[in-house]
Amino acid sequence: MTSQGRTMADWRRRTVSNGSIDLAVFELGDESNPTVVLVHGWPDTHHLWTHVAPAIAAAGYHVAAYDTRGYGETSAPDGDAPYRLADVATDLFAVADAVSPDAPVHVVAHDWGSVQTWEAVTTPGAEKRIKSFVSVSGPNLDYLSEWARKNLARPTPANLAKAFSQLGSSAYTGFFQAPVLPNLFWRAAGRPGLWREFLHRIEGTPKDNVVLGDTFTADTISGLRYYRANIRQKLADPEPRPTKVPVLEIVNERDVALRPTIYDYTHTHAENLWRRNSSTGHWLPYTNPDYLVATALDFIDSLEGRSGNRPATLDRARVLSTPGKLTGKLAVITGAGSGIGRETAYALAERGCEIVIADLDFDSAEATAINCKALGAQAHSYDLDVSDVAAFNAFAATVAAKHGVADIVVNNAGVGLGGSALAATDEQLDRVLAINLRGVMTGCRAFGRQMVERGIGGNIINIASAAAFTPQKGLGIYAASKAGVLLFSESLRAELAEHRIGVTAICPGIVNTNIVSNTPLAGFDDDAVEQEHRDRLDSFYQRRNFGPEKVARDIVAALEANKAVAPVTPEAKLGYRVYRFTPWLARLMARGDILR
């Protein structure tokens, strides 16, 4: 819905009084249904929820959105004092009592709406009136002050970087608290057309999605009183209080104002906390309303016992310890029954991901899943032949239906082939290309389509090889398959960039896994001679002693940094540079025979 006329016409308006404050409340849906209260922030009004409220109402809820004090059709008392959080939090309780007198309400709040809802849910006894809280881009200011103090009390480079990064992102709040100038600025700049253009440029928000009220310019100025009344006081004298209300934090990783790390300590105060991280921006209700609705309903429905056959996604979002960047993500890994795939599953499990493990050998996949569970992760095992395109596509559909859309996909399954390219059989060539190249392409396409449709980004990791850029006599077919993975990954990265989906090619060198012991060598008529050469090569890899756990560590680092190409092992890093800057040397070195 992008037309204000079409969506606003269905609202039912009422006025709720809280002392001298008259609150304009707008409702949708059957009042006998559980109630969801929507609370906006700066510089919005209830219009912020134009694309959210109808969808929540259609899901069987009574929805109430209100203009907070100082905005829209609600009272705007003079001065800054009436806008202190302790006072505006009482407005939320007044609305809740009016629209749902007999049952506690669910709250979804954004920006300063979320800030004031944090004040409400940390009020003693709040759980009697508020059943749940979905927080979007609005921290608890007491917790934020605590976070800043902890980082500055231990001024390590990492902690200082976090503190100064957030300081830079929120520098505008200092200007907003200055006298006179911000009012003059917004009197000139607070125009609906300029605001729509700003949101479009800063995070790609469709201009037609931004629905603003007639009071927008006045609201931008009036809302500055929230900054003046609260920020300095809360940062100077924080009082972090606990809450028993179940809370879902939606953390937008591309938020221009708030860095994800500021939420690190929420779990120490919120007894029941869930967290969703996504590659989204600050104005989620305008830019990705469908994602916000789906995520909020997942949470609210679970508390109402309405989840039905929906994929169980909330369990992995539960926060029990300090969250990381990958906490609550769903990771799918092929070829995870052994080697690099298995160690990557362990590394992601330790970082709070739910793991889907696929392997041609189901027993080995199950063993990996059992070990992931021992690390505290949810894990599921599947048998999968990645060379079977139909089976791979069916697997991707099953994952989405049972576990949700994957946030991370690691296309790791692969096989080796050594020996003469001319001597290799057609069957050997077809098998290598079907698994190493076509299998990767199938995985990228099947899961990539799901990520694009969901619209909140993701990451695809493709395991290539240093052979992709290190030509070697005796590895031509294998190297060609991995070179295809590398170039496909870089091309796909460009294609998916607009969807905030990162694609990374991992290029390991000599790694001690079981792939060598299972690698056929073309050109040997005598099985014993072939085995002798294979054993010699395997022995060399074992002496090299670069284990798959080290590759997994680098995979996680590349994932978190969203690298395009990540050579792994010293020889891979050297080979990458040699091939880029002195390709003639790489071609000369390729004449050496690795099988002798």
Catalytically active residues are 478
Distance CA 352, CA 323 (A): 8
Q: Does the CA dihedral 79-83-86-90 come out positive or negative? A: positive
With contact defined as beta carbons under 8 Å apart, do 426 and 471 qualify? no
Contact 350, 375 (CB under 8 A): yes
Distance CA(572)–CA(157), nearest Å, equals: 30
**Nearest in space to 461 (alpha carbons), one of 508, 392, 393, 401:** 508
Nearest to 221, CA basis, from 197, 198, 191: 191
Task: Give the helix ranges, DSSP H, for 23-84.
Answer: 53-58
For residue 221, count CB atoms less than 10 angstroms from its CB and return exposed for 0-12, middle for 13-18, buried for 19 or more: middle
Distance CA 382, CA 366 (A): 8
Backbone angles phi, psi at 367, to 5 degrees: -65, -40
DSSP 502-515: EEEEEEE-S--STT
Cα–Cα dist 5/9, whole Å: 6
Cα–Cα distance, 46 to 211 (Å, whole number): 10
R_g of the chain computed on alpha carbons? 28
H/E/C letters for each residue in 198-242? HHHHHHCCCHHHCCCCCCHHHHHHHCHHHHHHHHHHHHHCCCCCC
Bridge partners for 133 per DSSP: 107, 247
> How far is Cα of residue 1 from the mean position of the Cα atoms in its chain?
25
- State how far the Cα of 311 lies from the Cα of 298, in Å rounded to an integer: 9
Residues contacting residue 289 through CB under 8 Å, at least 6 positions apart: 51, 52, 55, 209
404, 330 contact by CB (below 8 A): yes
Task: Report the distance separating Cα 380 and Cα 365, nearest Å.
Answer: 9
